[in-house]
């Protein structure tokens, strides 16, 4: 990633963004799926004050001192930052940065689920909008889903909205505790593309490569991939940790393509092979619209970027989000 710093147009935007951040009392929180140029930390000459997975960024959001947060990620993540910081201003450089999982379920869908399964605890993956979260008992991210599911006494739990992640969790949780999960039918349009077919050529070409699989990948891919070779099924952070601990030099990445950028810059002596599937929502965020959002703070333009939630939604959604953070 650091070679990007030598490209002079990028260098100019980096220094512009840093100047405006100071002027507008703002920090930038940036997700690992951002384009590589937005993943470079300030200490290395970039603009990201914090780089992380969705849980890491939620935790950072609670510690921010600046009055303004620019969230370089997708809308449900920026909403979580707002829920945790109701007194601060949260901006997203493109309000159209959605998520196929978050838009697969509404608050009304959850109300109907509760009528159908009275008393069954509901775990909502953070990849949901604030209104949906407000109807749920607890949130989880890919990092803490397993320990949160384990913590309930109930034999049955509702897990929403990702059906694949739910099926992958179900296997582990059922084996360990006998608990059953009732699932919703949402899918991540990025991770569902990691089929056995899409990975088969790479597996043939790299017979010794270890597998890096995100929870949101289909169950049959996980089964086939980890049948005869080493690897990890987990969250973004689990993947980063696994690569650091593994002696292997080759990995097949079955997760968002730009996670490869931080993997490669952290472990330059290792090789990462991937079909390179990018999240179209994450890629709506760029250096240019990040700069535009910063400049807009405090002007009549700021509404274009501001994340607004009603006090009622903040109050209700903060309960499951804060319960989740107690597990972190
Ligand atoms: P993480 O919770 O691992 O950051 O993942 C977020 C996401 O959008 C996965 O597709
Ligand atoms: Fe949503 Fe999938 Fe994109 Fe993550 S990668 S933001 S789950 S669409």
Cα separation, 273 vs 53, in Å, equals: 21
| Nearest alpha carbon to residue 91 among 289, 276, 277, 246 | 289
Tokens of 116: 């159908």
Q: Is the backbone of residue 276 left (phi > 0), alpha (psi -120 to 50) or beta?
A: left
Query: Scanning the structure block, which residue is given the tokens 């080759």?
Result: 250
Asked if pLDDT for residue 90 goes beyond 70, the answer is yes
Q: Looking at residues 126-148, what average pLDDT do you find?
A: 94
> Where residue 62 falls among pLDDT bands split at 50, 70, 90?
confident
pLDDT in tens, 270-296: 999 999 999 999 999 999 999 999 999
pTM above 0.85, yes or no: yes
pLDDT, the chain, mean: 94
Q: What is the pLDDT of residues 142-184, one digit of tens each?
A: 889 989 999 999 999 999 999 999 999 999 888 888 899 999 9
d(CA 162, CA 141): 11
* % of the chain exceeding 70 in pLDDT: 97
> Which of 53, 163, 191, 255 to mutate to test ligand 1, by most ligand atoms within 8 A of the CB atom?
53
Q: Which pLDDT score, from 0 to 100, does residue 58 have?
A: 83
Is residue 10 exposed (0-12), middle (13-18) or buried (19+ Cβ within 10 Å)? middle
Ligand 2: lining residues by beta carbon, under 6 Å: 74, 99-101, 127, 188-191, 256, 279, 281-282
Q: Higher pLDDT residue, 326 or 157?
A: 157
Query: Going from the N-terminus, what domains does the chain have, and what CATH number goes with each?
Result: 2-97+282-308 (3.40.50.10800), 102-183 (3.40.50.10800), 191-273 (3.40.50.10800)
Q: How far apart are the C-alpha atoms of 203 and 147, rounded to whole Å?
A: 31
Residues 6+ apart with CB under 8 A from 215: 142, 145, 162, 164, 165, 168, 169, 233, 234, 235
Overall average pLDDT of the 40-53 stretch? 94
Give yes or no for residue 328 having a pLDDT over 70: no
Task: Compute, in angstroms, the gap from residue 153 CA to the centroid of ligand 1.
Answer: 27
User: In 68-144, which ranges are continuous DSSP H helix?
Assistant: 75-84, 107-116, 130-133
Region 227-243: mean pLDDT is 94
Give the confidence band of 229 by pLDDT, cuts at 50, 70, 90: very high
Kindly give the distance from the C-alpha atom of residue 236 to the centroid of ligand 1, in angstroms, as a whole number.
6
Distances (CA, A) of 101 to 13, 23, 144, 185, 279: 32, 36, 18, 9, 12
Residue 8 is predicted with a pLDDT of 65
Structure tokens at 279: 């999240």
Instruction: For a ligand 1 pocket test, name from 141, 189, 277, 282 the mutation site with the most ligand atoms within 8 angstroms of its C-beta.
Output: 141
Side-chain half-sphere CA neighbours of 183 within 13 A: 16
Atom of ligand 2 nearest to the CA of 281: 3
Atom of ligand 1 nearest to the CA of 237: 3
320 vs 172 pLDDT, higher one:
320
Mean pLDDT, range 310-315, rounded to an integer: 98
What's CA 165's distance to the chain center, in Å? Answer: 13
Q: What is the pLDDT of residue 176?
A: 84
240-274 pLDDT, tens digit each: 999 999 999 999 999 999 999 999 999 999 999 99
Among 20-24, 142-146, 300-304, 314-318, the minimum mean pLDDT is found in 142-146
The ligand that comes nearest to the alpha carbon of residue 257 is 2
How many angstroms is it from 32 CA to the middle of ligand 1? 9
Ligand 2 midpoint to CA 42 (Å): 25
Quote the pLDDT of residue 12.
Answer: 87
Q: Hey, whose CA ends up nearest to atom 2 of ligand 2?
A: 188
For 119: left if phi > 0, alpha if psi spans -120 to 50, otherwise beta; the answer is: left
Q: Cα(90)–Cα(105) distance, rounded to whole angstroms?
A: 23
Atom number of ligand 2 nearest to Cα 279? 3
Does the Cβ of 162 fall within 6 Å of ligand 1? no
The pLDDT of residue 149: 92
Could you give the C-alpha distances from 90 to 75, 139, 180, 278, in angstroms and in order? 10, 20, 37, 25
Task: Kindly tell me if the per-residue pLDDT of 31 is higher than 80.
Answer: yes
CA of 299 to the centre of ligand 1 (A): 32
33 CA to centre of ligand 2 in angstroms: 9
Q: Looking at ligand 2, which atom is closest to the CA of residue 191?
A: 2
């Amino acid at each position: 990633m650091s070679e990007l710093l030598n490209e002079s147009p990028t260098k100019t935007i980096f220094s512009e963004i840093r100047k405006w951040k100071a002027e507008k009392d703002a920090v930038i929180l940036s997700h690992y799926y951002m384009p590589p140029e937005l993943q470079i930390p300030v200490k290395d000459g970039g603009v990201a004050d914090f780089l992380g997975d969705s849980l890491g960024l939620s935790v950072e959001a609670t510690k921010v001192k600046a009055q303004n947060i620019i969230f370089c990620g997708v809308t449900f993540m920026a909403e979580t930052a707002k829920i945790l910081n109701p007194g601060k201003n949260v901006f997203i450089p493109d309000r159209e940065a959605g998520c196929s999982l978050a838009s697969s379920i509404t608050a009304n869908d959850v109300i109907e689920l509760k009528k159908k399964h009275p008393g069954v605890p509901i775990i909502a993956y953070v990849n949901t909008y604030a209104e949906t979260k407000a109807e749920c008992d607890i949130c989880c991210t890919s990092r803490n889903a397993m320990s949160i599911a384990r913590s309930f006494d109930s034999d049955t739990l509702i897990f929403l909205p990702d059906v694949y992640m739910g099926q992958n969790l179900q296997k582990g949780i059922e084996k360990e505790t006998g608990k059953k999960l009732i699932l919703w039918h949402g899918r991540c349009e990025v991770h569902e593309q990691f089929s056995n077919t899409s990975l088969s050529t790479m597996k043939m070409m790299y017979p010794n490569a270890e597998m890096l699989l995100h929870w949101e990948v289909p169950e049959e891919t996980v089964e086939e991939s980890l049948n005869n070779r080493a690897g990890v099924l987990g969250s973004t952070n689990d993947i980063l940790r696994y690569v650091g601990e593994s002696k292997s030099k080759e990995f097949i990445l079955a997760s968002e393509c730009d996670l490869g950028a931080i993997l490669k810059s952290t472990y330059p002596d290792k090789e990462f092979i991937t079909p390179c599937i990018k999240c179209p929502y994450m890629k709506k965020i760029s250096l240019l619209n990040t700069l535009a959002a910063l400049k807009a703070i405090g002007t009549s333009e700021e509404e274009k970027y501001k994340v607004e939630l009603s006090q009622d939604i903040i109050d209700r959604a903060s309960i499951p989000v804060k319960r989740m953070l107690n597990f972190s």
